[in-house]
């Protein structure tokens, strides 16, 4: 995400700076390794990365809901054992903003949401990791990213079981569901990244400039109201789960 946000020129500057470090040269890398090996026009837009991640992550949680709502397994955490006190929602409103992952959940097990996110992050490194930093696919840099990502996925799978948040079956099911979901979305639903339509942008700019002052004010007010609603809902969730003073 950071590489997609910065753009091709700034990422190239960062690579040149890193390659000039002594430690980087000791590892056998030179300034030639930071040469932009890809096409600048192929540098992914941040919106494309976030859009794909959001859609696939939402579909993954929809699949999770279809499984753990049908058959609820007994949780393995201490607060889920017989005799433990559960922090249940105290009102109907709390059902819509109370995050049980923070306050202690016992039913959303198969499959693991932790592993869903980690595997999707690994898949996005596989797809966008080299392009974001202008490196060749499966080059030295890309392989290092994949190696670090794979290690983090493995570490997450071990720690999530050790902390008794999930059973091993939750991790296993997520480990093949998330990559297949990623592949299905990218090959069937959303095959190509969106491109900037310069003509449409220029036409919208001209249309906006021709609007009356009251129409421009109304457009800006609608945008601000949407942002205010988002901030309000976010503050409501934070306050309801962490008891922060708003």
Nearest CA among 55, 49, 53 for reference residue 5: 49
97 touches 240 (CB < 8 A): yes
Read off the DSSP letter of residue 78: G
Expressed in angstroms, the distance from the first to the final Cα of the chain is 30
The answer to whether residue 166 is catalytic is: yes
Cβ–Cβ contacts within 10 Å for residue 149, how many? 19
Q: Check 43, 108, 114, 165 and give the catalytic one.
A: 114
The answer to whether residue 170 is catalytic is: yes
- Alpha-carbon dihedral angle through residues 27, 31, 33, 38, given to the nearest 10 degrees: 150
Q: 123: which residues sit within 8 A by CB, 6+ positions away?
A: 178, 179, 182
> From residue 76, how far is each of 51, 64, 65, 107, 246 by CA, in Å?
34, 18, 19, 10, 34
Q: Check 166, 183, 190, 239 and give the catalytic one.
A: 166
Q: Check 170, 183, 193, 197 and give the catalytic one.
A: 170
Q: How far apart are alpha carbons 203 and 197 in whole angstroms?
A: 10
Q: How far apart are alpha carbons 197 and 194 in whole angstroms?
A: 9
Three-state DSSP class for 112?
coil
Joined tokens for residue 237 = 């969730």
**For residue 87, cis peptide bond before it (omega within 30 degrees of 0):** no
The answer to whether residue 108 is catalytic is: no
Residues classed as catalytic: 114, 166, 170
């Amino acid at each position: 995400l950071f590489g997609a946000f910065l753009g091709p020129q700034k990422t190239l500057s960062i690579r040149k700076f890193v390659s000039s470090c002594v430690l980087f040269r000791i590892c056998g890398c030179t300034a030639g390794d930071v040469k932009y090996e890809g096409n600048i026009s192929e540098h992914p837009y941040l919106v494309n990365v976030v859009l794909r991640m959001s859609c696939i992550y939402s579909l993954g949680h929809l699949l999770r809901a279809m499984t753990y709502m049908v058959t609820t397994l007994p949780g393995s955490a201490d607060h889920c054992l017989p005799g433990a006190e559960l922090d249940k929602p105290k009102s109907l409103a709390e059902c819509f903003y109370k995050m049980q992952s923070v306050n202690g959940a016992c039913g959303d097990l198969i499959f693991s949401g932790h592993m869903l996110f980690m595997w999707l992050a690994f898949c996005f490194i596989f797809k966008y990791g080299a392009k974001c930093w202008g490196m060749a696919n499966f080059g030295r840099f890309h392989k290092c990213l994949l190696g670090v990502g794979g290690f983090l996925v493995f570490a997450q799978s071990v720690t999530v079981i050790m902390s008794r948040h999930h059973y091993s079956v939750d991790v296993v099911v997520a480990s093949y569901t998330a990559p297949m979901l990623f592949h299905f979305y990218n090959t069937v639903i959303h095959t190509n990244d969106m491109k900037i339509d310069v003509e449409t942008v220029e036409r919208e700019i001209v249309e906006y400039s021709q609007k009356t002052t009251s129409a421009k004010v109304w457009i800006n007010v609608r945008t601000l109201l949407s942002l205010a609603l988002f901030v309000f809902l976010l503050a409501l969730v934070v306050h309801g789960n962490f008891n922060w003073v708003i």
